[in-house]
Amino acid sequence: MDADGICDLDDVCPEDPDPACACADKDRDYICDQDDFCKFTVIPEVSVPAISLWYNRYALVDGDPVFDTGGLKGQPAPRIYTLEDTRGCSCEQIIQALGLGQGMIDHGCSISTMEYWIFHMNK
């Protein structure tokens, strides 16, 4: 539609030919495929959290690229993470890649898991 050379189905901004906006994003996780470490990200996540999202635990529970955290009433999130930080990987994908256990599946990725992943993605 915008004649930028990216198929409209894969184009992040199908009506805007701006090169900064146009990139292929086949899994629609807001990360250009060329920068996306996890190519098949699903938002919201399907199996995480399996029980409930705890405070200081992270998962993609709504339709945006910002990781959600369970909170204590009136308390701000201790940290904010985005799919850009994790190079397009959801908590579910991080758990699988690192071989983590049921606690993470049940309640989301811990801060230490998120920090570890982000550190190694940015080496």
User: Could you report the per-residue pLDDT of 16-27, keeping only the tens digit for each?
Assistant: 666 656 677 777
CA distances 100 to 34, 113, 116, Å, are 27, 9, 13
Q: Which two tokens stand for residue 25?
A: 């994003």
Q: What percent of the chain has pLDDT over 70?
A: 80
Task: Name the band, by pLDDT with cuts 50, 70 and 90, for residue 73.
Answer: low
Amino acid found at 38: C
User: Could you report the per-residue pLDDT of 76-107, keeping only the tens digit for each?
Assistant: 777 899 988 998 889 999 999 999 999 999 99
Average pLDDT, the chain: 84
Q: Element (H or E) spanning 109, and its range?
A: strand 109-110
- Is the per-residue pLDDT at 67 higher than 90? yes
What is the layout of strands, in order, in the sheet containing 68-69?
Answer: 68-69, 57-59, 109-110
Entry pTM: 0.77
